[in-house]
Amino acid sequence: MLLRLVVRLIGAGVTLAGTALLTFILIHAVPGDVARVIAGSKASPEVLQAIHTRLHLDEPVWRRLGWHLSDLAHGDLGRSYVTEQSVAEAILIRLPATAALAGLAVTFWMLIAIPLGALTARHPGGWVDRSVLVLSTLSLSLPAFWLARMCQYWFSYKLGWFPVAGFRGFGHLLLPAATLALLFVGYYARLIHTHMAEVLNSHYVRAARAKGASEGMTLFRHGLRNAMIPVVTVLGMDVAGLLGGVMFVENVFALPGIGTLAVQSVFNLDVPVIMGTVMFSAVIVVGANLVVDLLYGWMDPRIRSA
């Protein structure tokens, strides 16, 4: 178990280092003129030069990479070109809103997807199964930015059930989280269906039925517990995709989260902030995968010994 942990930790470290290198090459090696972005199009050459000197923009790329990596190792993500705020601070301030939104969304869609997946696997081929299949395909096909606008228009503006935008408490998170859940619930309902169907065909489920266990007991105790293992893996990998959705949804509902920060930084060409959010999401994804790996041992005793 300890060896497994060490190996995983080293792997995660390698992945993160690679990601840092990749983002640097992507964004830093080839910037538009950042000084012009900061100072505006009418800035004098002296001002531009001053900014270049201050941000070390004239240094060779490899030297900037060295500084960048050592800063990252110290947890320093640099400063925003536009607001001068420390990027790590900017992200941390916005983390609670984003974390609450994402957590609520995952809870919503799992609460819907688990019963749907289990039921459709129990009665495959029926009309419930077919309609859930079509509906979940529809949910896969919705663009996040559009769905968020539509939900906002109908449920907040027309019906007045939810606050339209902004963030002043839990109520402001409900509709954005429901929007995100709508985007993901279809995929997870199908995923759970697939694994559940596999498990329900296994010998131990047949054995459980043969010994007279109740149907609910079989489905949830034997079926679901085993079917959820691969689902949790996918959930860990999906954090990156979730952040993509969060970005659009936060933007539409004007939530002060990391997604809004990312969109703003894109519009401002605020390189340190873009890179910071990318790095942050990489850390979250790698961390989530690590947690999932360790959860395995707890969820599935068969893996513990390996």
Partner 1 sequence: MPNPGPEADSPCPPRQRFGGLFQNPLVAIGGTLLGLLLLVALAAPLLVSSGILQNPIQQFPDGLDPDGMPLRAGGRFLLGTDNLGRDVLSRVILGTRVSLTVGVAAMLTATLIGVAVGVLAGFRGGRTDLLLMRFTDMNMTLPAILLAVAFAGVMDGTPHHLHPASLPWHWLDLRLSRGMLSLCIIIGLVCWPGMVRVIRAEVLTVKEREFVMASRALGASDLHLVFRHILPNILPTTLVVAVMLTANTILLEAGLGYLGIGVPPPAPTWGSMVNDGQPYFITAPHMVIAPGVAIVVTVLAFNLLGQGLQEVLNPKSRK
Give contact residues for partner 1 (rule: CB under 8 A).
11, 14-15, 18-19, 22-23, 26-27, 30, 32-33, 60, 124-125, 133-134, 137-138, 140-146, 149-150, 153, 157, 194, 197, 237, 240-241, 243-244, 247-248, 262-263, 266-267, 269, 274, 277-278, 281-282, 285-286
The amino acid sitting at 178 is A
What is the residue whose two structure tokens read 């005793």?
Answer: 301
Report CA-CA distances (Å) from 159 to 13, 96, 114, 174, 184: 49, 28, 29, 15, 24
Write out the DSSP string of 193-235.
HHHHHHHHTSHHHHHHHHTT--HHHIIIIIIIHHHHHHHHHHH
Give the nearer residue to partner 1 in terms of CB position, either 107 or 201.
Answer: 201
CB-wise, 125 or 169, nearer to partner 1? 125
Find tokens 């536009």 and name the residue: 82
Q: Which is nearer to partner 1, 129 or 177 (CB)?
A: 129
* Nearest to partner 1 of 36, 304 (CB atom): 36
The nearest distance, CB 296 to partner 1, in angstroms, is 17
CA atoms within 13 A on the CB side of 280: 26
Residue among 30 and 212 whose Cβ is closer to partner 1: 30
From the list 135, 120, 286, the residue with the least C-alpha distance to 195 is 120
6 vs 111 by CB, closer to partner 1: 6
Look-up of token digits 């459980």: 208
Question: CB of 167: closest distance to partner 1 in angstroms?
Answer: 19
Least gap, CB of 164 to partner 1 (angstroms): 11
Minimum distance between the CB of residue 3 and partner 1, rounded to whole angstroms? 18
Q: Could you write out the DSSP letters of every residue in 4-72?
A: HHHHHHHHHHHHHHHHHHHHIIIIISS---HHHHHH-TT--HHHHHHHHHHTTTTS-HHHHHHHHHHHH
Retrieve residue 148's tokens: 């968020």
Least distance from C-beta 124 to partner 1, angstroms?
5
